[in-house]
Amino acid sequence: MKIPAVKGTRDLYPDLLAPIRRIFDVWRAVSIRHGFEEFEGPTLEYLDLYREKSGDELVGQLYRLTDSGGRELALRPEMTPTLARMVAAQISSLPKPIKWFSIPTLFRGENVQRGRLREFYQWNVDVIGAADVVADAEVILVGVEALREMGLREADFAVHISNRRMIAAMLQAAGIAPERLSGAYALMDKSGKLEAAEFDRRWDAAYGAHLPSARLRALLASTDLNGLEREMRRIAGGSKHADAAAELEAAVAETARLMAILSDFGITEYCKLDLRVVRGLAYYTGPVFEFYDRSEKERAICGGGRYDDLLGKLGKSREPAVGFGMGDVVLALLLEEKSLRGPARRTAGVYVIDADPAARPIVHRVVAALRRAGLCADFGYAAQPIGKQLKSADKKGARFAVILGIDPADAGRVRIRDMAGGHERDATLANLLEDPKKMIGIDT
């Protein structure tokens, strides 16, 4: 009886897992190097955690289940609710700022398409308890450095940065009432997909009296901080709404400071202002960002931002927070496209061979000793002619073969063969067992 894999999940055979494990290794190493500590949480959470915290889109895609006690559970579709729950439970004892990362498996019952699966991995990097935008800059730095470490360069990807606080203040300073903001966001979010004329028509009908579409489009198309600052200050200066104008001035200064710290960090060339980045509406309160390949052909590689109000909803106290999620699927597509997938297979190191089936017990002894000395060592299970065993060594990518039982008169003699050049030399079994790395001439 043949049972297939569930659609949207992956059978990760060794050749397919190897590049993903390389991604994990880089995510982990770069996180630790930047002072982040790893945490993990349950795959299974109470459904209520997501009803409270996730947007409607994610709640609609939840895998739900009921435990034996009749409680409603869900498979986590994102890590942030778990993070917020864990931090809220220990908020008084955890030293701030909390700098944590995690690489959870996530589940979303969405349509399977390029870059979208139902079960996937996502790197999460978050700073909790720091209100200063230096924390926003640092999480962006971590993301950029991880992609750099995988071999991607500024010609390959960019971080598109906006600021939800600045956009909100700008729209209000222009005179758009707070209750009309979400409609304006939704339309801005569509600006990339609509024809310019159609966008102008819709925008001007609703908001043109306050902010003409031509002026908004110029803002959305701008990537120049100085030009944007000037235009924002002009809106603030001409505003009849003093609070919104002051808030806009502050948000512009905050954005400029974020860009300045990114410059200190040496990653200016990877970062650009892009006010078209809106992201999940309910969630973010300050700077937001998305990583895209330069061609912008693929979905976002990574998305995140500041979410200062989220923790207060689950715990006693409000805590400023900023973070991102980077999935493995779109990233792997980009690495593949740039021929940066990495090696599919590790080499076996040393392959142990007998020239005589009577030497099998010594093969077992030597292979165990080499492994215990820290070498990658392998051998064949079946008694085979030496030529076949050498062929297996080659297939496994072994750098060296150790050949035992070469001299029936002297069981203590072993031959070491460099598989690349074919060079061979002899040694004693006793010396080999005493210091395998030295005798073979291999350092890892």
What is the rounded distance in angstroms from the CA atom of residue 254 to the CA atom of residue 163?
A: 9
What is the rounded distance in angstroms from the CA atom of residue 405 to the CA atom of residue 117?
A: 53
Q: Which of 374, 358, 353 is nearest to 438 (CA)?
A: 374
What is the rounded distance in angstroms from the CA atom of residue 85 to the CA atom of residue 49?
A: 8
What is the rounded distance in angstroms from the CA atom of residue 302 to the CA atom of residue 124?
A: 10
First to last CA, the chain: 45
Q: Taking CB under 8 A as the criterion, which residues in 242-281 touch a second copy?
A: 260-261, 264-267
Question: Least distance in Å: CB of 243 to a second copy?
Answer: 27
Residue 97: is the preceding peptide bond cis (ω within 30°)? yes
Question: Least distance in Å: CB of 438 to a second copy?
Answer: 18
Does 103 contact a second copy by CB under 8 A?
Answer: no
Q: Which of 404, 144, 169 is nearest to 265 (CA)?
A: 144
Does 145 contact a second copy by CB under 8 A?
Answer: yes
Q: Taking a C-beta distance cutoff of 8 angstroms, is the pair 9, 118 a contact?
A: yes
Of 106 and 211, which CB lies nearer to a second copy in the complex structure?
106
- Binding part of the chain for a second copy, among 81-89, 154-162, 209-217, 295-303 by CB under 8 A, reads 81-89
Q: Taking CB under 8 A as the criterion, which residues in 420-439 touch a second copy?
A: none
Q: Taking a C-beta distance cutoff of 8 angstroms, is the pair 292, 301 a contact?
A: yes
Q: Taking a C-beta distance cutoff of 8 angstroms, is the pair 121, 104 a contact?
A: yes
Of 295 and 347, which CB lies nearer to a second copy in the complex structure?
347
- Exposure on the CB side of residue 393, measured as CA atoms within 13 A: 27
Question: Least distance in Å: CB of 361 to a second copy?
Answer: 5
Q: Taking CB under 8 A as the criterion, which residues in 34-53 touch a second copy?
A: 34-35, 37-46, 48-49, 52
Cα angle 364, 392, 23 (rounded to 5 degrees) comes to 95
Number of residues that bind a second copy (CB under 8 A): 94
- Binding part of the chain for a second copy, among 99-107, 182-190, 220-228, 239-247 by CB under 8 A, reads 99-107
Question: Least distance in Å: CB of 295 to a second copy?
Answer: 26
Q: Taking a C-beta distance cutoff of 8 angstroms, is the pair 307, 184 a contact?
A: no
The first and second tokens of residue 441, run together, are 């001439």
**Residue 424: strand, helix, or coil:** strand
Question: Least distance in Å: CB of 232 to a second copy?
Answer: 24
Task: By CB under 8 A, name the one of 59, 369, 411, 427 that touches a second copy.
Answer: 369
What are the start-end ranges of the H helices in 276-323? 310-314
Task: By CB under 8 A, name the one of 23, 26, 91, 141 that touches a second copy.
Answer: 141
Task: By CB under 8 A, name the one of 9, 182, 295, 428 that touches a second copy.
Answer: 9
What is the rounded distance in angstroms from the CA atom of residue 393 to the CA atom of residue 41?
A: 42
The DSSP code for 180 is G
- Exposure on the CB side of residue 77, measured as CA atoms within 13 A: 25
Does 155 contact a second copy by CB under 8 A?
Answer: no
Strand ranges for 328-423 from DSSP E: 349-354, 377-379, 398-404, 413-418
The first and second tokens of residue 98, run together, are 């909390």
- Binding part of the chain for a second copy, among 140-148, 202-210, 233-241, 304-312 by CB under 8 A, reads 140-148
Task: By CB under 8 A, name the one of 58, 91, 135, 442 that touches a second copy.
Answer: 135
Q: Taking CB under 8 A as the criterion, which residues in 278-337 touch a second copy?
A: 313-315
Of 74 and 170, which CB lies nearer to a second copy in the complex structure?
74
Does 150 contact a second copy by CB under 8 A?
Answer: no
- Binding part of the chain for a second copy, among 57-65, 216-224, 236-244, 271-279 by CB under 8 A, reads 57-65
Of 87 and 335, which CB lies nearer to a second copy in the complex structure?
87
Of 122 and 213, which CB lies nearer to a second copy in the complex structure?
122
Question: Least distance in Å: CB of 241 to a second copy?
Answer: 32
- Whose tokens are 């498996």? That residue is 105
Of 90 and 182, which CB lies nearer to a second copy in the complex structure?
90
Question: Least distance in Å: CB of 146 to a second copy?
Answer: 11
Q: Taking CB under 8 A as the criterion, which residues in 371-410 touch a second copy?
A: 371-372, 374-379, 381-382, 395-396
Walk across the sheet containing 64-66 and list its strands. Answer: 44-46, 72-75, 64-66
Question: Least distance in Å: CB of 7 to a second copy?
Answer: 9
Q: Which sign does the torsion angle of CA 351, 355, 357, 358 carry?
A: negative
What is the rounded distance in angstroms from the CA atom of residue 58 to the CA atom of residue 221?
A: 30
Of 10 and 279, which CB lies nearer to a second copy in the complex structure?
10
Q: Taking CB under 8 A as the criterion, which residues in 185-244 touch a second copy?
A: none
Does 341 contact a second copy by CB under 8 A?
Answer: no
Of 50 and 291, which CB lies nearer to a second copy in the complex structure?
50
Does 3 contact a second copy by CB under 8 A?
Answer: yes
